[in-house]
Amino acid sequence: MTILLVVCSLPDGDSAERMAQALVEQGLAACVHIQTAGESVYRWQGQLEKARELTLLIKTTLAAYPALEQAIVALHPYDVPEILAFPATAGLPAYIKWVSDSVIASPHVG
């Protein structure tokens, strides 16, 4: 089973908590860690921007990723949300099993 760590930034605590709860409730993520706010500097539509954002670290499976991505896009307040997925190449076997067991094998967004 391939486990992914998905990174996603949100503009405020309320949207971060809503997203985290929805992803876990829908079985799309085993766990979502909400990191404290930090400063992001980026270029958007030709302009240099700065914003305070919270980062979500989402633990999921490769099989659930398409539905997870769809749910993030639907729930996210940004036009183009940050969604980056990284495969876990190693990890505590018991934790990997827990993530795998906690995510629905064929989740449906609805």
| Inside any domain, residue 48 | yes
Domain that holds residue 22: 3-102
For the beta carbon of residue 64, count every other beta carbon within 10 angstroms: 25
75 is a domain residue: yes
Cα–Cα separations (whole angstroms), residue 98 to 1, 25, 49, 94, 101: 11, 16, 39, 6, 5
Is the pTM here over 0.85, yes or no? yes
Q: Is 33 part of any domain?
A: yes
pLDDT digits (tens, 9 = 90+) for 28-84: 999 999 999 999 999 999 999 999 999 999 999 999 999 999 999 999 999 999 999
Overall residue count recorded for the chain in this entry: 110
63 domain residue, yes or no: yes
Question: Is residue 1 pLDDT above 90, yes or no?
Answer: no
Both tokens assigned to 12: 């405020």
Number of domains in the chain: 1
Domain presence at residue 81: yes
The CATH number for 84's domain is 3.30.70.120
Does residue 109 sit within a domain? no
